[in-house]
Amino acid sequence: MQQKVLAENAIDQFVMNDVLKEMVKKYGWGVARPLDCFLYPTGLIFNRNRLNEKLGIVPMVVHMNYMIGNAEKKAQLKNQGLWFVGETFA
């Protein structure tokens, strides 16, 4: 399996587009479905309402679309141990 390193300046929408392209290559177009709001919660659900924590559901991806400013988003994700840019993944 190929390892990928996320760049510091990676734009989240481009990263998500790449992930979806790879899924379509592997599984076909039939994989496109609405994302489960607890496995892929908005920052509002994850941070403010803390529904994942209350329900004991570990998310796959958290997106910080409710916050304004990249520095604020990055700080919030780092504080929660959810910032992985620069990490190497298998």
11-68 residue pLDDT tens = 667 777 888 888 888 887 766 677 888 898 888 888 888 888 899 998 888 888 788 8
Q: How far apart are CA 90 and CA 27, in angstroms?
A: 20
Three-class SS of residue 35? coil
pLDDT of 90: 54
**Structural contact between residues 79 and 1, judged by C-beta atoms closer than 8 angstroms:** no
The torsion defined by the Cα of 49, 31, 23 and 38, in degrees rounded to 10, comes to 10
Read off the pTM: 0.53
